[in-house]
């Protein structure tokens, strides 16, 4: 039993061992199962990862394939470029070889040119030396010319001053004659356009002369002193013979048609200057309508055509400026009047027409016209504006009354009073610049039907003959002593009384038309001017007062 017990015990022990082993085996199996599950999870994960990697690889392969295609395309382009570059390079090589040939040729040419250049440089150096020698000679010659010109100017000044002195001693009224050029407008207007009535004298214009714009036969024989004018006129006698007559006239100066305003002014600049020294100066422009009076006195708008009024005024200002260092101080003022039908019209007034009645007064301080505008003139520019005002008023009047300006006298007066701050002296001068009404012989009978025209004609005739009478009487006075001077016979002579007396300097510029159609008028004007020229006026006197 024991054995059985032992056997049972042993069996039980075996059973326990086996149960233990079984429990262990079960736990082991459980572990293995777990390991199996986790291994299969792991496998699943690996499979998925693998799948993903395969996909990525496929994408990579595709992208590489695209890159490979792009690279192939690029390669193709590069090959094309390369081909072109090769062509280009081969062209360049050809060009380079051509250029190097040219280069060699050019080098040869350069060498030849350099040789030539060296030769030219040598010649140039010689020429430069010669030029600098010539320049030196030229400079010396120019300096000499300047000196001679200066001498000539000074001599000319001396000549003019002497001439002036002779004139003053002779006391003669001076007369210049100026012939205007033939204008293109003359060619288109007929000779009768001026409305002139000619006398039936032997020197009447021939039918040919009556051609539009035909020039008169005028000549200027005195080529040295320019003091003579000759006019030839031909006419047919009753027997049918051609008769040619030559009329010669001499004046202080004759200006030919091509003379410039500057040349005319050169001759009167000393006269203008003398106002500053206290002289009364009177310059008239006389001549028929259209003969160039306004052109001479007022001139055109360009510097070259500027007339005597602006030039004279500038000269007066210049002379006054020149005397400043000697202590002279000047005050200037100006007036511009028009005398139409023996009535004074203030060209510096206001309104369309001057309705005021003006009177001329003479007293110790000089000539005054009542109720007219006297403008202070501090500078030449102020004279320009004065002339502009006067001209615009004349233009208005001309528009309102056809050609009125030709039938009125215009009188510009510049009054100059100076005092010397060093010496206390004072002086009063005046410059009268007069553009006279057209001097053509107007036919009173022709104007008889037109009252206004008849009155104008009579007034122009009256004032121009009054001017002639005053000058003639002044001449007789010079010869015989005391004599009545008929200043009061016209407004013009009365206004200019102080500037027309023997004490003043008077210049008449006779303007002539160059046209054959105006020959008769020109001869009349020349005869009138000759009478004036032969008149002896007294010696001009300065109006200077010492310090009181």
334 near ligand ATP (CB under 6 A)? no
How far apart, in Å, are the Cα atoms of 22 and each of 10, 28, 310, 387?
A: 17, 9, 152, 150
Rounded-to-integer distance, Cα 25 and Cα 23, Å: 5
- 288 labeled part of a ligand binding site: yes
Pick the stretch among 80-88, 176-184, 497-505, 521-529 that binds ligand ATP (CB under 6 A).
Answer: 176-184
Query: DSSP letter string over 191-203?
Result: GGGG-------TT
Least separation, in Å, of the C-beta of 443 and ligand ATP?
A: 17
Per DSSP, the three-state class of 175 is: strand
Query: Do 345 and 416 contact (CB within 8 A), yes or no?
Result: no
- The CA-based angle 108-114-116, given to 5 degrees, is 105
180 near ligand ATP (CB under 6 A)? yes
The H-assigned helical ranges of 410-515 are 451-480, 491-495, 497-500
Least separation, in Å, of the C-beta of 395 and ligand ATP?
A: 12
Residue 504 has which token pair? 């003043």
Using CB under 6 A, which residues numbered 201 to 220 contact ligand ATP?
none
307 near ligand ATP (CB under 6 A)? no
Q: Is the dihedral of CA 313, 318, 321, 326 positive or negative?
A: negative
- 326 labeled part of a ligand binding site: no
Binding mask 460-499 for ligand ATP (x = CB under 6 A): ----------------------------------------
Total residues in contact with ligand ATP, by rule CB under 6 A: 15
- 293 labeled part of a ligand binding site: yes
Pick the stretch among 43-51, 89-97, 288-296, 522-530 that binds ligand ATP (CB under 6 A).
Answer: 288-296
Out of 233, 273, 291, 525, which residue is the one contacting ligand ATP (CB under 6 A)? Answer: 291
Least separation, in Å, of the C-beta of 311 and ligand ATP?
A: 14
Out of 181, 221, 378, 424, which residue is the one contacting ligand ATP (CB under 6 A)? Answer: 181
Out of 295, 317, 340, 487, which residue is the one contacting ligand ATP (CB under 6 A)? Answer: 295
Using CB under 6 A, which residues numbered 405 to 424 contact ligand ATP?
405-406
Left (φ > 0), alpha (ψ -120 to 50) or beta: where does 341 sit?
left
- 290 labeled part of a ligand binding site: yes
Out of 290, 475, 502, 514, which residue is the one contacting ligand ATP (CB under 6 A)? Answer: 290
Least separation, in Å, of the C-beta of 387 and ligand ATP?
A: 15
Helices (H) and strands (E) in the chain, counts: 10, 15
Rounded-to-integer distance, Cα 114 and Cα 116, Å: 5
Query: DSSP letter string over 404-417?
Result: GGGGSEEEEEEEEE
**Helix, strand, coil percentages for the chain (3-state, nearest 5):** 55, 20, 25
Of all residues in the shown chain, the one whose CB is closest to ligand ATP is: 292
* DSSP assigned state of 321: H
Query: What are the phi and psi torsion angles at 174 (to 5°)?
Result: -95, 145
Binding mask 248-287 for ligand ATP (x = CB under 6 A): ---------------------------------------x
Out of 182, 183, 398, 536, which residue is the one contacting ligand ATP (CB under 6 A)? Answer: 183
457 near ligand ATP (CB under 6 A)? no
Rounded-to-integer distance, Cα 28 and Cα 196, Å: 161
Pick the stretch among 126-134, 178-186, 522-530, 538-546 that binds ligand ATP (CB under 6 A).
Answer: 178-186
**What residues line the site for ligand ATP (CB under 6 A)?**
180-181, 183, 287, 289-295, 405-406, 438, 511
């Amino acid at each position: 039993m024991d054995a059985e017990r032992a056997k049972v015990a042993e069996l039980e022990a075996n059973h326990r061992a086996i149960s233990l082993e079984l429990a262990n085996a079960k736990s082991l199996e459980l572990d293995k199962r777990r390991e199996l599950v986790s291994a299969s999870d792991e496998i699943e994960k690996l499979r998925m990862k693998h799948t993903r990697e395969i996909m990525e690889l496929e994408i990579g392969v595709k992208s590489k394939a695209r890159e490979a295609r792009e690279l192939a395309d690029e390669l193709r382009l590069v090959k094309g470029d390369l081909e072109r570059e090769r062509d280009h390079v081969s062209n360049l090589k050809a060009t380079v070889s051509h250029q190097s040939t040219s280069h060699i040729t050019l080098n040869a040419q350069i060498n030849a040119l350099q040789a030539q250049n060296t030769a030219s440089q040598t010649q140039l150096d010689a020429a430069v030396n010669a030029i600098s020698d010539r320049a030196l000679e030229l400079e010396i010659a120019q300096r000499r010319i300047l000196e001679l010109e200066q001498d000539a100017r000074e001599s000319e000044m001396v000549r003019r001053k002497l001439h002036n002195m002779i004139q003053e001693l002779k006391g003669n009224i001076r007369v210049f004659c100026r012939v205007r050029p033939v204008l293109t407008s003359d060619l288109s207007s007929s000779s009768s356009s001026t409305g002139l009535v000619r006398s039936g004298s032997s020197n009447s214009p021939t039918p040919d002369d009556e051609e539009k714009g035909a020039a008169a036969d005028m000549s200027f024989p005195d080529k040295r002193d320019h003091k003579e004018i000759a006019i030839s006129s031909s006419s047919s006698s009753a027997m049918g013979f051609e008769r040619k007559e030559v009329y010669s006239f001499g004046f202080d100066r004759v200006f030919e048609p091509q003379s410039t305003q500057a040349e005319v002014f050169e001759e009167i600049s000393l006269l203008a200057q003398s106002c500053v020294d206290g002289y009364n100066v009177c310059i008239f422009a006389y001549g028929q309508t259209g003969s160039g009076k306004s052109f001479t006195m007022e001139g055109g708008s360009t510097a070259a055509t500027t007339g005597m009024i602006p030039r004279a005024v500038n000269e007066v200002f210049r002379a006054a400026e020149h005397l400043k260092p000697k202590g002279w101080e000047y005050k200037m003022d100006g007036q511009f009047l028009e005398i139409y039908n023996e009535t004074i019209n203030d060209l510096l007034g206001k309104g369309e027409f001057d309705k005021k009645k003006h009177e001329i007064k003479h007293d110790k301080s000089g000539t005054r016209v009542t109720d007219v505008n006297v403008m202070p003139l501090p500078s030449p520019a102020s004279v320009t504006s004065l002339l502009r005002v006067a001209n615009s008023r004349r233009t208005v009047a001309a528009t309102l009354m056809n050609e009125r300006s030709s039938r009125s006298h215009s009188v510009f007066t510049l009054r100059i009073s100076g005092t010397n701050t060093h010496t206390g002296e004072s002086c009063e001068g005046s410059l009268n610049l007069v553009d006279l009404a057209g001097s053509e012989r107007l036919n009173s009978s022709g104007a008889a039907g037109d009252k206004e025209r008849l009155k104008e004609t009579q007034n122009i005739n009256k004032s121009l003959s009054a001017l002639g009478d005053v000058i003639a009487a002044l001449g007789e006075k010079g010869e015989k002593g005391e004599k009545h001077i008929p200043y009061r016979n016209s407004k013009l002579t009365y206004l200019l009384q102080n500037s027309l007396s023997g004490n003043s300097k008077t210049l008449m510029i006779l303007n002539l038309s160059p046209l054959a159609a105006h020959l008769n008028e020109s001869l009349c004007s020349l005869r009138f001017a000759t009478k004036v020229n032969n008149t002896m006026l007294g010696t001009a006197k300065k109006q200077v007062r010492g310090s009181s």
